Amino acid sequence: MNKAPVMEPRWVSGFTNGEGYFGVEISRLANSKSGYSVQLKFVLTQHIRDKSLINSFINYFNCGNLLVDSRNSDSAIYFRVTKFKDIYEKIIPFFVKYPMLGGKALDFANFCKVAELMKNKSHLTPEGLEEIRKIKAQMNKARLIEVRTTPRGSDPGGAEGVGLIPTRCGKQLTNYREDKGRFFMYNRDKSILYHISTTMDDKYFINNLNIHYYTFEKHLKNGTYYLGKYLFTREFVPTAKFKEKTIPELRLMLEKDRKKFRRKNVTKWRKAPPLLRSRGGVKSKSGK
């Protein structure tokens, strides 16, 4: 039996990138409001000879359990986490702090989207359940990927009406089919793409990032910059580098930028002439 390696966070992230699975399971449940149940699953898999390695993840994450597939002599063993509280409070924060790359990062991003919907009880509504189905359809084997290695003009998935989901690692995107319901979040010069919404995603996005609806709509409509540095648009820019961030990552990034934005405005106010400060930068009663 192989000796388990020392559990360093970056090693765990790299191991998960190769051996991990982020899944969403939807099954019928008669006594549920929607008639269905939604369950998130995080799984790591190894051969039974590496039981000590898989067992060590229980202590490392302080959650989960082991399952053994004994249907044949070449058995596999699984570390599995399905309890929502453990996934939301332990698994997701870990991989936000120690991110993965490539297709697994895309699966994790969608995994986080479903977790946020479940946290807000949206999975109990028909609209929320439909949104989760669409996100699930973009994950793991069902995910459609389009990168520069795909011949221009070809369609690897052939699914009508489904936008192709690009890969990570800074690769440029090509032949992306736009969907009227989508919006994109870029940096100011549109050289970096941070987020691609899913259909019906606007409300979910702004609620979880603490952006006021009217503020979001104003910037989306006018092409102005949120916090002076982020652009929301329906336009896809094929030259942008894709560096997708999960909702938890975006929330943390925007919160830091809001603090900087407020400090910057306070500094400007303190440096303003006393008369302007006393008026709060507002026009006088005469309207001048």
d(C-alpha 210, C-alpha 233), whole Å: 18
pTM of the model: 0.51
- For 183, phi and psi rounded to 5 degrees? -135, 165
More confident residue, 284 or 227: 227
Q: Write down the pLDDT at residue 154.
A: 34
d(C-alpha 268, C-alpha 154), whole Å: 53
Indicate if 132 and 175 belong to the same structural domain: no
**Mean of pLDDT values over 129-154:** 61
Residue 75: pLDDT band by 50, 70, 90 thresholds?
confident
The reply to whether 7 falls in a domain is no
Residue 244: pLDDT band by 50, 70, 90 thresholds?
low
Indicate if 176 and 262 belong to the same structural domain: yes
> Which amino acid is present at 220?
L
d(C-alpha 283, C-alpha 119), whole Å: 44
Residue 90: pLDDT band by 50, 70, 90 thresholds?
very high
d(C-alpha 242, C-alpha 19), whole Å: 24
Going by C-beta distance under 8 Å and a sequence separation of 6 or more, which residues neighbour residue 15?
Answer: 44
What the block records as the tokens of 81 is 């986490």
d(C-alpha 7, C-alpha 102), whole Å: 22
- For 168, phi and psi rounded to 5 degrees? -100, -150
**Mean of pLDDT values over 90-99:** 92
Domain that holds residue 256: 144-272
Indicate if 150 and 253 belong to the same structural domain: yes
Residue 34: pLDDT band by 50, 70, 90 thresholds?
confident
Most confident residue range from 61-70, 164-173, 275-284: 61-70
**Mean of pLDDT values over 136-140:** 82
Going by C-beta distance under 8 Å and a sequence separation of 6 or more, which residues neighbour residue 278?
Answer: none
As for how many domains the chain has, the answer is: 2
pLDDT at 86 over 70: yes
Indicate if 127 and 223 belong to the same structural domain: no
d(C-alpha 242, C-alpha 236), whole Å: 11
Indicate if 135 and 76 belong to the same structural domain: yes
CA distances from 195 to 96, 204, 250 (A): 15, 13, 9
In CATH, what number is assigned to the domain containing residue 111?
Answer: 3.10.28.10
Q: Write down the pLDDT at residue 72.
A: 54
Q: Write down the pLDDT at residue 251.
A: 83
Indicate if 22 and 86 belong to the same structural domain: yes
Q: Write down the pLDDT at residue 174.
A: 38
What the block records as the tokens of 33 is 């409001």
